[in-house]
Amino acid sequence: MSDILISEVGPRDGLQSIKAIMPLDAKKAWIKAEAEAGVTEIEVGSFVPPSLLPQMADTAELVRFAKGIKGLNVVALVPNIRGAQNAAAAGVHAMSLPFSMSETHSMKNLRKNHAQMIEEIKEIAQIAKMANIHFAVGLSTAFGCTIEGAVDEDQVAHLAEAAANAGAMEFSLSDTTGYADPAQVKRLVKKVASAVGADKMTTLHLHNTRGLGLANVAAGLDAGITTFDASLCGLGGCPFAPGASGNIVTEDLAFMLNAMGCKTGIDLDKLLRVRDILAAALPDEPLYGFTPDAGIPLGMEQRNKG
């Protein structure tokens, strides 16, 4: 099986969705422990104003810390040009901009319509180029929107192509609202890959809101996807998309991929122990995952290390 990258987004997507503010030292311990378990890419935070998301106020410090971990690709989300400038100043390896395929969601999330977002992408692409930073665009609400409902798939492909022409280097299809099904995943990956190139359509950001998260991963694998976002303990959701809880659990995703013979580089035993850091730092927050409850089956020791 091909190498599959699990990109940990919990320190950003997970923590921005809960009220509690995780202490900086606990975040550092989390990032360090996941890297030691074999996770090679972590989205450590978001460069948004602390007045909007106080959970992300220490992102610059987390970038500096994470860059000291050998072999770790340090990613941050940026909501706009100012965020991209701050991310570049902090020295991220990669930045990701959310681009809502639902224009209503775009206005609520980033206060910009589609035309304004394309102009924003052009500016951020230049910032990334000058700083030698990888610039990805997450096609949010690509599978549906809690505000608008269905999102036209041809529109998703058209907007992705416009973003590629504006300078986006890579794309993620994001099931922000947990609407996706396996057939839709295969169809939309193929459509966007045709518009921007298969080399740019690499990533899925899926939620397990309706229990289809791992089924959609399997569909993504069949469609040629090589990177999957996930959140330790299943933390996460979008605060601007009502009801959109439930990021894929990193532990369950790693178990499934390792069991299928995919090469993830992740030691599941070590990964499961990282949960203790979150349990101690967020004692009132529910932590999810089937694999942590059921344990690793006998006979999986050799595959456990991905």
- Residue numbers annotated as active site: 238
8 Å CB contact between 83 and 47: yes
Please give the Cα distance from 217 to 214 (Å, whole number).
5
Q: Which residues contact 116 (CB under 8 A, 6 or more apart)?
A: none
Count of other CB atoms within 10 angstroms of residue 194: 13
Bridge partner residues of 35 (DSSP): none
Q: Are 38 and 254 in contact (CB under 8 A)?
A: no
Q: What is the longest distance spanned by two Cα atoms in the chain? A: 54
Give the DSSP letter string of 59-119.
HHHHHHHHTTSTTPEEEEE--SHHHHHHHHHHT-SEEEEEEESSHHHHHHHHS--HHHHHH
